[in-house]
Amino acid sequence: MDKTTNLRQRGANTRAVHGGQHFDPATGAVTTPIYATSTFVQSAPGVHKGYEYARSQNPTRAAFEAAIADAERGHAGFAFASGLAAEAALLEIAGQGSHIVASDDLYGGSWRLFHRVRSHSAGLTITHVDPANLDALRDAIQPNTAFIWIETPSNPTLRLADLEAIAAIGRERGVLTVVDNTFASPAVQRPLEHGIDIVVHSVTKYIGGHSDIVGGAIVVRDPDLAQKLQFLQNATGGILDPFSSFLALRGIKTLPLRVQRHSSNALAVARWLDAHPKIERVVYPGLNSHPQHALAVRQMDGGGGMVAAYLKADEQQVVDVLSRFRLFALAESLGAVESLVGQPWTMSHGSLPEADRLAREITPNLIRLSIGIEDVEDLTDDLEQALSIL
């Protein structure tokens, strides 16, 4: 039975639960089983039931790929072993000696992949621009530019980019546009609906949502681009395994519900921090004080679950504050049901040169909060006791 009939006319929560899904034809199982097999029997050479080898196709992975494509309103989705594995496969489209125009506030792992891997192995060149400066973005495009690559909200300073305007520039100049939608998730914004060509995700974060998998995904809206990525996914081989695909599929079913709570908690925490005497500045798209708040209202469904805060503290004091948290876990990653805290200066963006970090306002007194789904009063209590040493 096909559960997706007329799904495109249904709401976000219904789509999250049913999007791209079919009841198991062999048993009637409501949940797609974990197909832990490396190969599939063929009735004759080259004659099979759509599956021949698990790197090329797997039913559990295919179910998650259909679900993430539906969540992003795309034509097709592709699941990888990590977010960086997804990005590495996508960069194969660019080809040798290509150029990328990228956000100047970029995840440290993406920066490392661009500058310390593909610049050497593929002659990739990168121009970083503030994507809010559309003239600078347009001027940075070169004849060999393959991608305009942005994050919105950005990691870790939560700057926004105008999706419709950037998509228009890409179409005008014949350049593919890529949005890393990890910080928002499709429950908060869907870049393909604004004309963007490609969305990438760290599935590890909001889509998985439970700190128990590592994965990545790409979603596209163009069938020809989907064919290229299907080939590259198989050829490069960095696929998501069946068990992680099963958990990612589980995660996406509750994504809208979880993100509603992430967002409402984050707004409450951001307002609380904004009034705290030990906080220098709070950055959160849902606050009126965010310089791009109007853009957030226009292209996002809520402010998301990430909050950036600059403490009135020196570097050692920040370390002392971070060591005092009881509910917030001092850990890498984000987007999980439990609240996490980190210092981008030494953690997520430690691979960037110091001058680049400072230019991006990534300073030692910046902390990044991934707000979970706990009771918000408990979160503010934990923040209060941690900040009390300042």
pTM, whole model, 2 decimals? 0.94
Alpha-carbon torsion (264, 149, 197, 64), positive or negative: negative
- Does residue 274 carry a catalytic annotation? no
Please pick, among 61, 118, 190, 205, the residue that the annotation labels catalytic.
205
| 292, 377: one domain | yes
Query: Does residue 152 sit within a domain?
Result: yes
Query: Does residue 81 sit within a domain?
Result: yes
Please give the tally of structural domains in the chain: 2
Q: In what order do the strands lie in the sheet with 340-342?
A: 279-283, 306-311, 366-370, 340-342, 329-330
pLDDT at 4: 46
Contact 146, 98 (CB under 8 A): yes
Of 229, 251, 273, at which residue does a domain stop?
A: 251
| 233, 353: one domain | no
Please pick, among 70, 104, 180, 241, the residue that the annotation labels catalytic.
180
pLDDT at 306: 98
Query: Does residue 172 sit within a domain?
Result: yes
Instruction: Provide the 8-state DSSP code for 7.
Output: G
pLDDT at 1: 37
Longest Cα–Cα distance of the chain, Å, equals 73
Q: What is the CATH number of the domain that holds 33?
A: 3.40.640.10
- Does residue 35 carry a catalytic annotation? no
Contact 269, 371 (CB under 8 A): yes
CA distance linking residue 362 with residue 366, whole number of Å: 6
CA distance linking residue 95 with residue 146, whole number of Å: 8
Count CA atoms closer than 13 A to 377's CA, side-chain side.
Answer: 0
Helix (H) or strand (E) holding 224: helix 223-236
Of 230, 251, 272, at which residue does a domain stop?
A: 251
- Does residue 55 carry a catalytic annotation? yes
| 95, 177: one domain | yes
Q: In what order do the strands lie in the sheet with 76-80?
A: 76-80, 216-220, 198-202, 176-180, 145-151, 99-103, 125-129
Q: Which two tokens stand for residue 109?
A: 């792992």
Q: Are strands 279-283 and 306-311 parallel, antiparallel or unpaired?
A: antiparallel
pLDDT at 2: 44
Contact 216, 84 (CB under 8 A): yes
CA distance linking residue 329 with residue 99, whole number of Å: 38
pLDDT at 51: 85
- Does residue 206 carry a catalytic annotation? no
Of 228, 251, 274, at which residue does a domain stop?
A: 251
What residue numbers bound the domain in which 379 lies? 256-387
Contact 330, 322 (CB under 8 A): yes
CA distance linking residue 388 with residue 126, whole number of Å: 43
**Tens digit of pLDDT per residue, the chain (390 long)?**
344 445 556 788 888 888 877 888 888 888 899 999 999 898 888 889 888 888 999 999 999 999 999 999 999 999 999 999 999 999 999 989 999 999 998 898 999 999 999 999 999 999 999 999 999 999 999 999 999 999 999 999 999 999 999 999 999 999 999 999 999 999 999 999 999 999 999 999 999 999 999 999 999 999 999 999 999 999 999 999 999 999 999 999 999 999 999 999 999 999 999 999 999 999 999 999 999 999 999 999 999 999 999 999 999 999 999 999 999 999 999 999 999 999 999 998 988 889 999 999 999 999 999 999 999 999 999 999 999 999
Please pick, among 3, 10, 55, 324, the residue that the annotation labels catalytic.
55
Query: Does residue 148 sit within a domain?
Result: yes
Question: Which residues have C-beta within 8 Å of that of residue 149, sequence separation ≥ 6?
Answer: 100, 101, 102, 103, 106, 110, 178, 180
Please pick, among 15, 61, 104, 107, the residue that the annotation labels catalytic.
107
